[in-house]
Amino acid sequence: MPIGHIRPAVAGIEEQQILAVSKLALGDPSVIAMWYGESDLPTDTAIRQVAIESLNAGETFYGHKRGLPEFQAALATYMSDLYGRAIAPDRVSLTQSGMSAIMMIFQTILDPGDNAVIVCPVWPNAQSVVRALAGEPRYAVLDNDEARGWHLDLEKVFAQCDGRTRAIFVNTPNNPTGWTMPLDQMRELLNFARERGIWIVSDEVYARMVYDGRAAPSFLEIAEPDDPVLSVNSFSKSWAMTGWRIGWITHPPQIGELLGNMIEFNYSCVPTFLQRGGIHAIEQGEDAVAAMIGHCRTGRGICSQRLPNLPRVSGYREPEASFYGFFRIDGTEDRTLETCQRLVREAKVGIAPGTAFGPGAEGWYRLCFAQSPERLSTAFDRLESGLASL
């Protein structure tokens, strides 16, 4: 039976390759999954308890579309302290996840036929959003060499921009490479964007997932309130709150109500009881952040010890930020998806194919090391056996 019309921009989006791997393990708890950007740590008990108490108190009604005023204030105070710049509460809008923040940003700024320049390799959903809105993703690919590791030539970004460029999308710290944009490049890129009226959409969800210092460099350290900067963040990574689906946008105050409208049209509001937990995480959750980073630091050490010594593995460089190992498996450059699927079936371990992350990631693989030592040890044992039999 025929169905109704589907927009071509949506119908043409291919299945995300990480999903094409992970669905092979549905219903199979024996598979060790390292394909998603998710730790095996549950959310801190105190954060969960605050949400439970709010739920039990009956805070189950519609809430403020841009977030509780006290939550906006808490986030503004948190970022002002973190980045050494005064950030007012009216520059903060709460969202249902970092992903929904990115979707609403592009819904707001992108017309069909416009383009967004994306620094890649990068998390796949950003480019998919641009395509879904009938925009054109353009790519500025990170360079990689033994001496410097992953790094960005800004001229590649500038060369991709034209009169229909509405945004430059930068994920820093980067998923999957661990690359972090230095502050001097941020200044140069911001000056370029100011001159041309192009938005910088900065995905900074791994801002706290650094192993030297309190936070990664941020556009919020250098941007004025009315600069064309839209900074996206999330509770998922640093506070181990992936399932809560809470994120936020830091934006010029002039567009706060406009973003509020987009929130209303997409999902109305973030549930109040979840916001209560988020407030507790911001105001009293630094121990939870420290525990998460410590967990990942241990995982990174195990990954750096085991991964480079596995059969056929090359290219791995210990990341300075995020919680991913990014590497090659020699001899599989043209079949990364098939290799991941085979490892799920035969070795019962799941990793992500680099081709999921766009140009510059062909022939690479990603795994998430934000796991317990015992889980990682078993996973690397299985990978060792699985790679030896490829």
What the chain holds in terms of domains, given with CATH numbers, is: 8-43+287-388 (3.90.1150.10), 45-285 (3.40.640.10)
Is residue 291 pLDDT above 80, yes or no? Answer: yes
Asked whether the predicted pLDDT for residue 195 surpasses 90, the reply is yes
Q: For the chain, give the secondary structure using H, E and C.
A: CCCCCCCHHHHCCCCCHHHHHHHHHCCCCCCEECCCCCCCCCCCHHHHHHHHHHHHCCCCCCCCCCCCHHHHHHHHHHHHHHHCCCCCHHHEEEECHHHHHHHHHHHHHCCCCCEEEEEECCCHHHHHHHHHCCCEEEEEECEEECCCEEECCHHHHHHHCCCCEEEEEEECCCCCCCCCCCHHHHHHHHHHHHHHCCEEEEECCCCCCECCCCCCCCHHHCCCCCCCEEEEEECCCCCCCHHHCCEEEECCHHHHHHHHHHHHHHCCCCCHHHHHHHHHHHHHCHHHHHHHHHHHHHHHHHHHHHHHHCCCEECCCCCCECCEEEEEECCCCCCHHHHHHHHHHHHCEECEEHHHHCCCCCCEEEEECCCCHHHHHHHHHHHHHHHHCC
Q: How far apart are CA 50 and CA 74, in angstroms?
A: 16
The pLDDT of residue 191 is above 80: yes
344 pLDDT band, cuts 50/70/90, is very high
Say if residue 32's pLDDT is above 70.
yes
pLDDT of residue 14: 85
Average per-residue pLDDT for the chain = 97
The residue with tokens 């799920």 is: 344
Identity of the amino acid at 24: L
* Res 55: pLDDT: 98
Q: What is d(CA 250, CA 40) in angstroms, rounded to the nearest whole number?
A: 29
Q: What percent of the chain has pLDDT over 70?
A: 100
- Of all residues in the chain, the percent with pLDDT exceeding 90 is 96
pLDDT of residue 45 exceeding 90: yes
Over residues 146-161, mean pLDDT: 97
Q: How many of the other CB atoms lie within 10 Å of CB of 374?
A: 8
How many angstroms separate the CA atoms of 227 and 91, rounded? Answer: 12
Side-chain half-sphere exposure of 256, counting CA atoms within 13 A? 18
- pTM of the complete model: 0.97
pLDDT band with cut points at 50, 70 and 90 for residue 3: confident
Residue 187 has pLDDT above 70, yes or no: yes
With 80 as the cut, is the pLDDT of residue 2 above it?
A: no
Mean pLDDT (whole number) for 12-34 = 92
pLDDT tier at 15 (50, 70, 90 boundaries)? confident
Asked if residue 1 has pLDDT above 80, the reply is no
In this predicted model, what pLDDT tens digit does every residue of 196-253 receive, in sequence order? Answer: 999 999 999 999 999 999 999 999 999 999 999 999 999 999 999 999 999 999 999 9
- The end-to-end CA distance of the chain, in Å, is 43
